[in-house]
Copies of this chain bind each other. A is one copy, B any other.
Amino acid sequence: MWGENLHEQRKATVQLHYPHGMHTTIAEGIAEYLPEATVRTATFEQPEHGLTEDVLADTDVLTWWGHVAHEDVDDEVVRRVHERVLMGMGLIVLHSGHESKLFRTLMGTTCGLRWREAGERELVWNVAPGHPITRGLPEVFVIPEQEMYGEYFDIPQPDELIFISSFAGGEVFRSGCTFRRGQGRIFYFSPGHEDHPVYHQTEVRRVIANAVRWAAPTAELQPYPTFKVTPHSPIGWFSQTRSD
């Protein structure tokens, strides 16, 4: 669980909802719905933002919540996490993480969107019933107060569209999207503004736990196929390939 953990130190509302930081609340939600997972947290202010080579080598799925410090995240850490995703580490990008260097690098687009802070009702519609990420979720759920995120959301067409949200003001948003990049699975999920207690809500916690399970690698992370051997491939090289 990577959390920027800066709003929490600066704004009274955020401290009220998340006295131990948003990353801690998100971690508790995963522990609740995915008890077999080992959950750890890391934050912006730690050395290397808490995302050292060793930490990443021991991480199956990373969640990412950031906002004000996007541009201050170290390029080398971004490069390292990016490579790890391509090798197969799962990645869950939350809310304002849409504008992080990491997500923009993986998408190749600006990842811009419309927004409004009016504490208005968000409805989250499940458009992928039967998908592992919607397990146990109803057809729609209500978040009483949220920041509005609206289209046009500048992302590549998702591999799978999971949720579409509407807001009281009339906007819509592709609020749950999956992408595969390299061997890694990515899920973007927009609910979760720091001024509202969204990560305490049952349905939101369940979605994130489901997504962590879905994004977990199915085998030990490995260098890419294209890295594992030299990409130069003499005639018949494949007669030597073997199953694990």
A165 to B95, CA, bound (A): 22
A6 to B32, CA, bound (A): 51
Is A184 an interface residue, CB under 8 A from the partner?
Answer: yes
Shortest A186–chain B CB gap in Å is 10
Q: Is the CB of B130 within 8 A of A185?
A: yes
Is A35 an interface residue, CB under 8 A from the partner?
Answer: no
Contacts of A125 in B (CB 8 A): 150-152, 171-172
Kindly specify which of A61-69, A71-79, A102-110 makes contact with the partner chain: A102-110
The listed residue (B131, B135, B142) touching A238 by CB distance below 8 A is: B142
Shortest A231–chain B CB gap in Å is 5
Q: Is the CB of B243 within 8 A of A113?
A: no
Q: Is the CB of A154 within 8 A of B238?
A: no
Q: Most chain-B Cβ atoms within 10 A of its Cβ — which of A129, A138, A224? A: A129
Is A47 an interface residue, CB under 8 A from the partner?
Answer: no
Q: Is the CB of B156 within 8 A of A180?
A: yes
For this complex, 24 residue pairs linking A to B, each with C-beta atoms less than 8 Å apart, are: A109-B181, A109-B182, A113-B231, A118-B235, A121-B170, A123-B171, A126-B151, A126-B152, A130-B182, A130-B185, A131-B218, A139-B152, A151-B164, A152-B224, A152-B225, A154-B224, A154-B226, A157-B159, A157-B160, A160-B180, A164-B172, A168-B170, A169-B235, A170-B236
